[in-house]
Chains A and B, each alone.
Chain A
Amino acid sequence: MSKPKSEERKSAGTTRRDFLKKTGAAGAAAGAASLLGSAALMANTENPDAQTTWAEWFQGNYRLMTDEEKKESVARLEKRYSAQFGKKVTVDDAPAIDGVLFGYALNIQKCIGCRRCVKACVKENNQSRTNTEIEWIRVVRMEKGQFSAGDMDKGYPQEEGHEYGVQVGGNAYKPAGVVLEGKHYYEPEKVPEKDAFYFPIACMQCEKPPCVKVCPVRTTYREGDGIIVIDYNWCIGCRMCIGACPYWARRFNWGEPNLPADDMNPNTHYLGNRPRMKGVAEKCTFCIQRSRRGRYTACVEVCPVGARKFGNLLDPESEVRKILDRKRVFRLKAELNTYPKFFYFID
């Protein structure tokens, strides 16, 4: 497949404030990387895996690569993946499109908890299937509460002889209304269940992402279209991002990922669903391989009830923008000031 010509974009780094500070260092690293990289390729080992591994070890961070280096890197990966999975695998390097800021809106009123989105995401994004099984979307089952008048006077604390008359009083041990304690492992016969509603979560693509701030090597960063991406080849596996994410959106490849060849999606993006390696973090990328080509994400496409909406926040006519304008919208853990671009709404 011919690589899409990336326009003479300066660099993804221009969107970052301190790009200039890094340029010098990056230039040096990138220069050394391409030199050693081509040396390795010229070494002419037949095994594409060994070749790639060697070259990748010297490769710089994707964000700071020149177009030339990106092409080399992509070509290496295509060769390796094609050999590894026994089919033609493409690795896209489509950059962010100007004038696009991706946003997501999810109608929690409609979600039935079927988890088709979870499965579709796994299939689309080449997650490890077993040991360890990685899913980017978690659907949290929220239990509905019941109000039981019989518990009205069962105050707090309950121990006999220790009634201090603490103000919580009432039915402190049984919630009136909704408990809001979620579980993401649930196996009902049928969904939706009578006593539950569902709250899907995934990476919120924060505008002020804590994961990006804590990353010591800037392997995870915000792209111009607002997607937070990871250069899997630059990640050192320190898991600071996993600790810092308030939405538990990030997953770690504890072992070598298990991705069966016949189940592998060959249309990949460098920053998205290309097969990962052990010891690196990963997460939802708004299906960067699809969205940058003008397609819906896999979860939006598969949702049977139309609860999931996706589009360009900068386009006043887009569906997400209309939802933001007209519906009752909220964001998860808004108090943490992370400014997610993943919105929840009800009609």
Chain B
Amino acid sequence: MQSKIRFPIDFFSYALKGGAQYYAWLGFLGILIVLWAVGTYAQLTQGMIITGLTDQTSWGLYLANFVFLVGVAAAAVTVVFPAYFYDQEDLHKVAVLGEMLAIAAVVMCLLFVFAHMGRPDRLWHIIPVIGIYNWPHSMLTWDVMVLTVYLILNLVGGFYYLYKKYTGSPLNKSFYIPLILISCVWALSIHTVTAFLIGTMPSRPMWFHSVMPIKFITTAFAAGPALIILCFLTIRKHTALVIPDSVFHKLSHYITWFLGMALFLIMSEIVVELYPSTEHSFGLQYLMFGLSGLNKLVPWFWTAIFLMVVSFGLLLSPLRKNFTVLPIICVMLFVGIWIDKGMGLLLPGMSPSPIGEVTEYYPTWLEIFVVAGNYAIGFLVLTLLMKGAVGVVLGDVKYGQSK
């Protein structure tokens, strides 16, 4: 019992300790969180009118980042699955870090959903039993369900592992391994359902196609591990945890092929839409070339394509194994996919509107504050969880050793 009380105390007191650089990072996140508070306060008091959203573009940055981060959350599977399913020894030690990333990403997803809601004060209406949960009809209820369960699976799986390490007792494999494998399959479900959420609306032709779920998964499994690589490189540089090169090679290998598939699917979509050029393709045309003289998204789209194609090329080359170039590749493709799957997907789905009106969307500063702040809170969670987890894995955080 004592160990259960000591665990969170030891975990977080370790996580909060660090050098000047560490505190500078936390301080930077703190500043962004202050901005978040400013934006969130304005939105809660004045309503969504402080955002750049309109009746034409009624979903914007918040939902775009939500969609993207669901993918990042799902991508933990790229570390966990090979570790346990193919029993790859080098990945075992870091698999738990993947789960920490999943937790942080789901936290960010929930923050973005919260920001997106017009009446967050009525959140209880969607809670089953006390509210009304329109399941199985509403795709959003599916999304809420799979995300919540995924969060629980990762919390339980991740912290069970860490707690066992902490107390030095062996894992109960018949509990842990099935849990891990379920969470891997579940990771696919969260992103599939998110794709169904927007892909099941004939009113929005750009999203109304069945490539959406697989495209989501491929882009997620490219962007997610890219972030994981960046985290692991940071951990390797700043902590005593030894992460072998083979881990990075494996992850960048997965990224290469998932990115390749993603590019293939993007190409397929473009060909199928643009060849007949029906009304169904107007959203994509707006994204790629502009429509009715409105072309704000065009540079974003081509930047995303450039970043993705170039990083794919670099990943195919031996530079993939160069640890100076690898983080640059990861940042490039992470940004590329963030554009492609965020604004590049959400906004052209809204424009032209169902009655053919093309509208540009200009996010306001307050809206950007909220977005930046949501990321900051998520990265704060990520930093603390990873730091603490590294401490546990290293054996620095151990039951009975705390001062």
Contact = CB atoms under 8 A, between A and B. Distances in A.
Nearest to A33: B130
A279 B116 CA distance: 10
Contacts of A131: 49
B48 A254 contact: yes
A20 interface: no
14 contacts: A25-B130, A61-B125, A131-B49, A183-B357, A184-B357, A210-B203, A235-B119, A237-B48, A238-B116, A238-B117, A240-B139, A243-B203, A245-B203, A256-B47
A215 B138 contact: yes
Interface stretch (B74-82, B239-247, B348-356): B348-356
Interface residues on A, range: 35 or more
A251 B56 CA distance: 9
Given A218-B134, A248-B354, A252-B118, A25 B139 contact: no
B139 A214 contact: yes
Contact of A278 (B118, B140, B144, B356): B118
B126 A243 contact: no
B349 to A, nearest CB: 8
Given A216-B133, A246-B202, 17 more contacts: A25-B128, A183-B357, A184-B355, A217-B132, A218-B132, A235-B122, A237-B122, A238-B116, A238-B118, A242-B58, A243-B198, A243-B350, A251-B55, A252-B55, A255-B46, A279-B48, A280-B118
Contact of B46 (A61, A182, A244, A256): A256
A213 B125 contact: no
Contact of B118 (A182, A210, A244, A253): A253
A22 B132 contact: yes
Contacts of A182: 355-356
A138 B353 CA distance: 13
Interface in A236-267: 236-240, 242-248, 250-256
A182 B128 CA distance: 43
Interface string A57-100: 10001001000000000000000000000000000000000000
| Smallest CB-CB A-B distances: 5 pairs | A237-B118, A279-B118, A255-B49, A246-B203, A278-B47
B354 A246 contact: yes
Contacts of B355: 138, 140, 182, 184, 201, 247-248
Contacts of B121: 57
A29 to B, nearest CB: 5
A1 interface: no
Contacts of A246: 202-203, 354
Given A214-B140, A243-B204, A255 B48 contact: yes
B115 to A, nearest CB: 11
Interface string A161-202: 000000000000000000001111000000000000000010
Contacts of B130: 25, 28-29, 32
Contacts of A252: 48, 55, 58, 118
B137 interface: yes
Interface SS majority for chain B: loop
A254 B119 contact: no
Interface of A: 22, 25-26, 28-29, 32, 57, 61, 64, 131-132, 138, 140, 181-184, 201, 210, 213-219, 234-240, 242-248, 250-256, 278-281, 336
A253 B47 contact: yes
B47 A255 contact: yes
B49 to A, nearest CB: 3
Nearest to A25: B129
Interface string B135-171: 0011111001000000000000000000000000000
A244 B203 contact: yes
Nearest to B51: A254
B123 interface: yes
B131 interface: yes
B302 interface: no
A252 B326 CA distance: 45
B53 interface: yes
B49 A236 contact: no
Interface string B164-202: 000000000000000000000000000000000010011
Contacts of A244: 201, 203
